[in-house]
Structure 1
Amino acid sequence: MDSAFERHCSELVARERSGHTAVVEDSLLYVWGGYMSVADDEVFLPNDEIWVYDLERGVWEVFHMTGEVPPSMSGTCGCCLNGHLYIFGGCDDNGQTNQIYCVNLTDGKYTWRKIIHEVGSAPSPRDKLSCWVYNGRLIYFGGYGHKLLTDVDSRNRSFIVDEASWVEDVFWGWNNEVHVFDPMQSSWSEPQTQGRAPAPRAAHASATIGCRGYICGGRVMETRTSDIHCLDFESWTWSEIIPVSTTPVGRSWHTLTAVSDSSMFLFGGLSVDCKPMSDGWLLDVDTKKWREVEHPFKNKPRLWHTACPGKDSDVIVFGGSCDYILLVDTGHCNDALVFQMQPYPLFRICEDYIAKNVKNYEVLRNQLPLLPSKLQTAVQRRMSFYRPSKKQKY
């Protein structure tokens, strides 16, 4: 973990935010939405802009978005499929929503499209849910939202009413529902799952490994947990993973990221006693063992941040809060923390070494033009990343 780093290499830097959406596509980190604190108010970030961070060059750019632009909101669930960013749910000025939007990240136009489903029924409005991507479909789990009294079945434990929040015939609460959206068919479906489902929850974390989706912890009614559950997408069967080692403390608003064919990285969150955390843990799903990992960001607690898998098993954490977000004057962040989870390939080690040192060594500087054009371009991009900047933070 010694090679982990945090950089702001460009003069232009994305705004601080929490509850946003972020995905990585082709070494570019895309950030949309969320909110920040201004004086005593919580302000949604502009809905018609998307921030793009080049992980190779360390440069931020911001682009204007057009089309059927979704409302400004936080707590939406975002994922990337075939170069397209999909967002579902979230909370805007009118409360939770159940709309789904899509934007192509690869054509440079950034035109939003609101998707109107043709088959099935959309889930009820919700935010702070999670998503898995498998076999060309988007699989959503859990969240906090509202249902009409007529849609709440007291015999069905898939929705737990928040006793502190209800208005006439509208109830808010947590759910453990599984809903599948097929973009090709523009269809919603709700598979019949087997096994013991996790308790209804929100602000949990999720990750996908192979044909299985995992969830960890989250807010379950009035408590926060660290339990691990697995859903097999072939059989739609739930199972719980019972760790055989020391486990992380219960938490919500954390992240879980797959970093290999059998392991996931957990970072940060809000503890049971409302403490922002900065610990990192690896879970081996084969051995069912948690292992706390050392990293250089122990002084950077984060919650309601995003974490995306990057190149060579890196984990890119962006934004979030370093304070308890229900307090006024919350400290939102805009730094990108890059965790190295696996040894880098020799090519990347050499590329980074040259980029770091080419300006200091006369021989390297003179020989740079002798490199093949593709390699020369790659090294020049990395040189941009390591170039000193007023915006750098360590």
Structure 2
Amino acid sequence: MLELTTLMIFTWLTLRVRYFHNYFKDFVLFDIDINNNVIVRWLCSFIMTNDPATNQKSTRQSSTIPTMDSFLNMKQSKSNLCSATNPLTPNNLMQFIENIPIDSSSKPHPRSGHRAVATESDLWIWGGYYPSSDTEQERMFQELWRYNFALRQWTLEQTTGDGPILTLASHSMCLFRNYLLVFGGTGFPFGHHVSNDLFVLDLKRRHWKRFRIHDQQPQPVYGASMLLNDDHLYILCGTNSWIYNSDVFDIHLPTLKCKHIGNTFDEIEDPSETGRYRQEAYLHKNQIFLFGGGGVSGISYSFEHLPVFDLATQHWSYVHTNPDPVHNFPTARKFHSIFPFHNNQVIMFGGAHFNRTTNRHIVVNDRLWIFNFEKLEWSILSSLTMPRPTYFHAAAMNERGEIWTHGGVVVESRSNDNNNIHYNETRITTLYAMHTRVPNLSELAWNYFLNSLPDRTCLIKQPKLMTQLHIPPRFIERIH
């Protein structure tokens, strides 16, 4: 009850803080620890000094101190003030919501096949592909983009060193401490350039290094999966366009020594198929589960039987899963995403499957699915959908449980004069975000604070401002 009362007081205060600029003084921020939850509240006493809009000077000794109401009633036409976004607009955080950059002029070109990781403060995307069109030639993007969550701002980062040049699509990527690990990938034409080098980007220095893997090297592939477990990096599956595999390699990161610990298995859905690419892999209790993926014939693998690699026995097996009682199993797919969701569960969305009749990829529906490892059961989130179903997108989750997904391919239909429907694949650069768990109160307070600012760039232009406001260091470090 005390927490609820405190949050209500904070909410009322935040509603009052609709404007913010460098003339505010005595803006006090402090923490209160209640039941192991940090609640950040703002207590504001505003005294304006040297306001150029009024050409008057106010001091602490002045007998006339503007109240909050009088401040809010000032004309919005003043050049140094602008209205902030309503910080308390109700949103269901447990669904995908488009996150629109403050400056829409600087953002990545539409793309697919790129990959993403998320740190506490930023979403990082690397690479990508854009096909030829009437106005553009096909493009491969040797680009590192960073999206700062707090500033809602994209930045094209300049890097140095020996980074990937020709293998910029369908690579595998993950975050190890403060390093970006990139393996494999392809260029255009797909399969023409393929790599088995391990590239490491120091995110602080923006510097690339190329490392050769020792001993039993994986084959050059694209569409592989990467998983981290302590100091071990597992690389599995992938293709070079002709041969598909489901091999498993264990790389000890401190020494870069690699062992081939798992062999390609025969698929039970189609005995002529072996190997997968653009599948999703997830490590659960020392077992690696494979979800979906594609094969040499264009097949997209279903979810009734999941391949499982046991790291202890180093053997593949299959587990039979249970369908949703109403919606059965998810549609077979590849180019999708899977992330942890609550206890012993993962959430799955996006992807496409190949239609052999029309010889084209069909985007799956907009539904979100849950898989429970304890029950080996699928269930659909009936109340949640994707705003625009995509595949070949880039998605990542940060430690707060926020899923961020960028770009990818959407399929748009249109009819011609003969009422024939044509489907066009379009690359996008839209950014969506959703929460997989309820944010703690300090995060809610931080977001309310940011949404109360008329111009978030003031946090960059005045670097000492947040320290003067006694904002906790862990939030200050997110602004860069």
Common fold: TM-score over 0.5: yes
Contact kept? 1:206, 1:255, Cα under 8 Å: no
The residue number in structure 1 matching 2:459 is none
Shift of 1:329: 6.8
Aligned-residue CA RMSD in angstroms? Answer: 3.2
The residue number in structure 1 matching 2:362 is 275
One-letter code aligned to 2:293 = G
| Structure-1 separation of matches of 2:472 and 2:250 | 42
Shift of 1:371: 9.7
1:34 paired with 2:128, answer: yes
Q: 1:115 to 1:17 in 2, by over 3 A?
A: same
Instruction: Describe how 1:1-394 pairs up with structure 2 within 5 A.
Output: 2-3=92-93, 4=95, 5-11=97-103, 12-39=106-133, 41-45=137-141, 47=142, 49-72=143-166, 73-93=168-188, 94-105=192-203, 107=204, 109-117=205-213, 119-145=214-240, 172-192=242-262, 199-222=274-297, 223-227=299-303, 228-245=306-323, 246-273=328-355, 274-277=361-364, 278-294=366-382, 298-323=386-411, 330-356=425-451, 373-375=470-472, 378=475
Identity of aligned residues (%): 18
What whole-Å deviation, never above 9, does each CA across 1:79-119 have from its counterpart, x for those lacking one?
Answer: 111211111111125422222211111x2x211111023x3
Q: 1:350 to 1:379 in 2, by over 3 A?
A: farther
Q: 1:113 to 1:202 in 2, by over 3 A?
A: same
Q: 1:50 to 1:203 in 2, by over 3 A?
A: same
| Structure-2 separation of matches of 1:320 and 1:313 | 22
Name the structure with the higher strand share: 1
One-letter code aligned to 1:99 = D
One-letter code aligned to 1:188 = C
| Normalised TM-score (structure 2) | 0.64
Shift of 1:127: 0.7
Secondary structure of residue in 1 paired with 2:443: helix
| Structure-1 separation of matches of 2:387 and 2:376 | 28
Shift of 1:370: 12
Q: 1:180 to 1:379 in 2, by over 3 A?
A: closer
Q: Mark the runs of 5 or more structure 2 residues left unpaired by the alignment.
A: 1-90, 269-273, 356-360, 413-421, 455-464
Q: 1:355 to 1:253 in 2, by over 3 A?
A: same
| Structure-1 separation of matches of 2:477 and 2:162 | 38
Deviates more, 1:298-307 or 1:34-43: 34-43
- How many residues are aligned here? 343
What whole-Å deviation, never above 9, does each CA across 1:138-167 have from its counterpart, x for those lacking one?
Answer: 111111116xxxxxxxxxxxxxxxxxxxxx
Secondary structure of residue in 2 paired with 1:349: helix
| Structure-1 separation of matches of 2:423 and 2:140 | 15
Deviates more, 1:27-36 or 1:10-19: 10-19
Q: 1:64 to 1:295 in 2, by over 3 A?
A: farther
Shift of 1:32: 0.7
| Structure-2 separation of matches of 1:123 and 1:378 | 40
Q: 1:356 to 1:381 in 2, by over 3 A?
A: farther
Q: 1:177 to 1:355 in 2, by over 3 A?
A: same
Contact kept? 1:21, 1:33, Cα under 8 Å: yes
| Structure-1 separation of matches of 2:285 and 2:397 | 15
| Structure-2 separation of matches of 1:87 and 1:358 | 37
Secondary structure of residue in 1 paired with 2:348: strand
Q: 1:69 to 1:370 in 2, by over 3 A?
A: closer
Q: 1:299 to 1:39 in 2, by over 3 A?
A: same
Q: Mark the runs of 5 or more structure 1 residues left unpaired by the alignment.
A: 147-171, 360-367, 385-394
| Structure-2 separation of matches of 1:328 and 1:196 | 34
Contact kept? 1:37, 1:329, Cα under 8 Å: no
| Structure-2 separation of matches of 1:211 and 1:196 | 22
One-letter code aligned to 1:323 = V
Q: 1:319 to 1:194 in 2, by over 3 A?
A: closer
